[in-house]
Amino acid sequence: MQRLVNEKDHVVEDMLEGYVQAKSYIEYGGSEKRVVKYTDIPQGKVGLVSGGGSGHEPAFLGYIGKNMLDAVAIGEVFSSPTANAFLDAFREANHENGVACLFGNYAGDNMNVKMAKAMAEDEGIQVRYVTANDDISSSPKETKEKRHGIAGGVYMWKIAGAAAAQGADLDEVCRIAEKTVEHTRSICIGLAPCTIPDVGHPNFTIQEGTYEFGIGHHGEPGMDIRPMASAKEIAGEMMNAIHEDYELMEGDEVSIIVSGLGATPLMEQYILYKEAVDWLKERGIRIHHPLVGNYVTSLDMNGAAITVLKLDEELKKLLDVPAICAAFQFI
């Protein structure tokens, strides 16, 4: 494995040092250098916190910024931040009107957020949390509360961030976040596995001439393994899966993210996007404010995620609120 790292056991610390040095609006928070925060959090605003394992950049660091997240807790590669890191993030984001913690629905994150919430409330900090569960491959519709959050978290942060910036209280911010989650669906495909720096080799395999349909962001097995096909065929299968889970109707308006998983060339991401949009247009579905690029990755995995958010007037208005962070600019 050839990688631009120093000590393999310190890749997260080294990444964070570089990130903080590169972004003038970011600084460390807490005592263990596992929390980073926005330097210009407006007084009186509901605080927005997220966090998760490293290796998914620009998530979660890249979504700190104006009208976006206020603080994030950072874990080891593909591992949850500690409860103390989440607690430090709550402290940094709190400006007396409570904190909304918006994160992906993974077991370690759930456990540590709940522990941190209890500790924060002992200190008088009101905390509520909302989990993204947009990954349709991670659990059936009948148990969608068990689904994981992947690129759909981007919409949750963007829209809840806009609500908080406009003065919504904690209950309203969480209501908007929950509504966004309910309207969002994602599916991933994997073409080649990723390599965790500490391991030095892929922790799973994808055979040449095949792809994994519905793969998880940590290499969790997907729905099935399929023969390699054209971008048009793969996009069609991905959109069909989303449509079967959450029916899209003629006249609907959606926002769509095509996110690479770390090693997917932008050229191929735009090809996949074109085919997904053709699928939508053929069915009379309008597209609003699409995103194509690396928004939630999985180290150096080759593959892509498609995320669809079905819009209504409330969600569309909040999606359009200007926001600036490292991962994107909504202007």
Helix (H, G, I), strand (E, B) or coil at 246: coil
* DSSP H or E stretch at residue 176: helix 170-182
Which string of DSSP letters, residue by residue, matches 15-68?
HHHHHHHH-TTEEEESSSS-EEEETTPPTTSPEEEEEEEESSTTTTGGGBEETS
For the chain, the distance separating the N- and C-terminal CA atoms, rounded to the nearest angstrom, is 40
Active site residues: 56, 218
Q: How far is the CA of 225 from the CAs of 43, 208, 228, 234, 267, in angstroms?
A: 50, 11, 9, 12, 24
The rounded distance, in Å, linking the Cα atoms of 231 and 219 is: 21
